[in-house]
Amino acid sequence: MNRIINYLIDVIRGVLFYFSQTKLRTALTLLGITVGVSSIIAIMTVLATFEKTTDQIVSDVRTNVFYITRENPIEVSFGDNNKWARNKPKITWNEYEQLKRSLKLIENMSAVVSEEPSDRTFSVGKKEFKSRIQSFWAADGDILSLYKYDIIDGRNIQEVDINNRSRVAIVGSDIKKELFPFKNPVGETIKIDNIPFEIIALTEEKGELAGQSMDSMVGIPISTYLKYFGGNWRRADLQLVLESESIENIDDATDEAIGVFRAIRKIPPGDPNNFYIATNDQLMDTFGEFTGYLKTFVGLITGISLLVAGIGIANIMLVSLNERIKEIGIRKALGARRSDIFLQFLIEAILISLLGGIIGIFIGLSFGNVVALFLEQSPVIPIDWVFYSLQICASMGIIFGLYPAIKASKLNPIDSMRFD
């Protein structure tokens, strides 16, 4: 065993020595692999960052919360699937109220219409909120606890506001900071698309999530929304947010909700749901599906680029073989076996691709983590992909080094030594 290790160290030293003599060529060969591997690692790092971010988003909303929507909010739909989604009926206020009356396992429930972000103008006097409001929602008062916002001053939306379609609004701390820097916004008036609303509450600052402010938020009663902004029904599609009593009974609660909602819509047994029900787990699954597609796509692209890089390796190995025919002849005359020459060439190819791979991993990690930095995430290392990349590189070295190595090992010492 010691002998083999000793031998391998010799071969590797020899190969590294050869690299140091042909720096430019080695570097150019490395480049192809480096580009391939760095792109795979960069994208996997970005995806890992996204996954981490969505984990945070999803876990930030209570885990015994689930949603009923017309269609899957984050699914990337293709072709027929999409058409079908468009034909699904919108969730109506009436359905919401029926559901709210019938469900037993639900502790808290709210219907919400949201524009995320909103293109409407939000102004006080002549002063307009400069950026877009990230979340303009309309619901009843229960939504605040479902979305985990705390009121620090003022009151929540009450049933009377819903019934009277009152023009009242709850605002997040970004609105106070920008539009009411020196006074308490509660009791003041904010104009949404020039319609005046009385501010009834200010929520506690929540900070940022995934680079977006959670406090760039305005909420109004849902009935008011439908009255003043409901003309745009494509946006005014109700989403139901439901909360089960506990995390443990969320499955029972979702089953109950599905059953009751099917009964309300009179869907015959056996027909598919014409609505979408999403738990946080499902949201994660859908996201996983999406990233899965992306990974396959990336895998395909890098596969092609690595194939090209591999052909580059084979080419460079054949060039170096032709240059070293004499050397191989001398080494064979001095006692190198076929396997010695074979290993020398194969290890050379493997080392080139591994070296390229390692450089690629570092570059990819740097690029990917720049994105992580923008998303304000701690650095991510997709350790599994680092290992896959190294494996891919090693196998590429073997596959594309094999033919040149066999060719080199078969050279005849007498003829090779005479070669110039």
Integer-rounded Cα radius of gyration of the chain: 32
What is the distance between the alpha carbons of residues 362 and 379, in angstroms, rounded to a whole number? 13
The distance of closest approach from Cβ of residue 352 to other proteins in the complex, given in angstroms and rounded to an integer, is 18
323 belongs to the binding site for other proteins (CB under 8 A): no
254: tokens are: 């979702």
Among 191, 189, 187, residue whose Cα is nearest residue 200: 187
Under 8 Å between Cβ of 40 and 364: yes
Interface map 20-49 toward other proteins (x if CB under 8 A): -x----------------------------
- How many residues are there in the chain? 420
| Binder of other proteins out of 293, 338, 376, 395 (CB under 8 A) | 338
Question: Could you tell me the smallest distance in angstroms from the CB atom of residue 340 to other proteins?
Answer: 6
Q: Which residues contact 127 (CB under 8 A, 6 or more apart)?
A: 179
* Shortest Å distance, C-beta 21 to other proteins: 5
Considering only 199, 321, 350, 417, the residue that binds other proteins (CB under 8 A) is: 417
Quick one: which segment of 30-38, 94-102, 244-252, 322-330 binds other proteins (CB under 8 A)? 322-330
Residue 4 is encoded by which pair of tokens? 């083999």
Q: Does 336 bind other proteins (CB under 8 A)?
A: yes
Under rule CB under 8 A, residue 301 binds other proteins: no
CB 242 within 8 A of CB 109: yes
Asked if 247 touches other proteins (CB under 8 A), the answer is no
Residue 340 engages other proteins in binding (rule: CB under 8 A): yes
- Least CB distance from residue 4 to other proteins, whole Å? 10
Residue 339 interacts with other proteins (CB under 8 A)?
yes
Q: Which two tokens stand for residue 417?
A: 């030594």
The answer to the question of residue 414 lying near other proteins (CB under 8 A) is yes
Q: Assess 148 for contact with other proteins (CB under 8 A).
A: no
How far apart are CB 414 and other proteins at their closest, in Å? 5
Beta bridge partners of 203: 151
State the minimum distance, in angstroms, from the CB of residue 356 to other proteins: 23
Residue 1 binds other proteins, judged by CB under 8 A: no
Name beta bridge partners: 106: 244
Which residue type, as a one-letter code, is found at position 22? T
- Give the count of residues interacting with other proteins (CB under 8 A): 24
Q: Is the CB of 2 or the CB of 194 nearer to other proteins?
A: 2
Distance between CA 327 and CA 320 in Å, rounded?
Answer: 11
Nearer to other proteins, 14 or 154 (CB): 14
Omega within 30 of 0 (cis) for the link into 117: yes
Classify residue 126 by burial, with Cβ atoms within 10 Å: 0-12, 13-18, 19+. exposed
Q: Cα 86 vs. chain centroid, distance in angstroms?
A: 25
Q: Does 413 bind other proteins (CB under 8 A)?
A: yes
Gap between the Cα atoms of 41 and 36, Å rounded: 9
Find residue 225's DSSP bridge partners.
none
Q: Between 205 and 327, name the residue whose CB sits nearer to other proteins.
A: 327
Asked whether position 321 contacts other proteins by CB under 8 A, the answer is no
Strand boundaries in 233-273, DSSP class E:
239-244
Residue with smaller CB distance to other proteins, 307 or 325? 325
Query: What is the nearest approach in angstroms of other proteins to the Cβ of residue 353?
Result: 23
Q: Which residues of 386-397 are buried (b: 16+ CB within 10 A; e: fewer)?
A: bebbbebbbebb
Q: Give the shortest CB-420-to-other proteins separation in angstroms.
A: 9
Sign of CA dihedral 97, 92, 112, 102: positive
Question: From residue 2 to residue 21, what is the string marking binding to other proteins with x (rule CB under 8 A)?
Answer: -x--xx--x---x--xx--x
| Residue selected from 79, 207, 272, 335 as contacting other proteins according to rule CB under 8 A | 335
What is the separation, in whole angstroms, between the first and last Cα of the chain? Answer: 38
Both tokens of 209, joined, read 């999530």
Q: Closest approach of Cβ 405 to other proteins, in Å?
A: 16
Q: Shortest approach of other proteins to residue 339 CB, angstroms?
A: 7
Read off the DSSP letter of residue 133: B
Footprint of other proteins (CB under 8 A): 3, 6-7, 10, 14, 17-18, 21, 326-327, 330-340, 413-414, 417
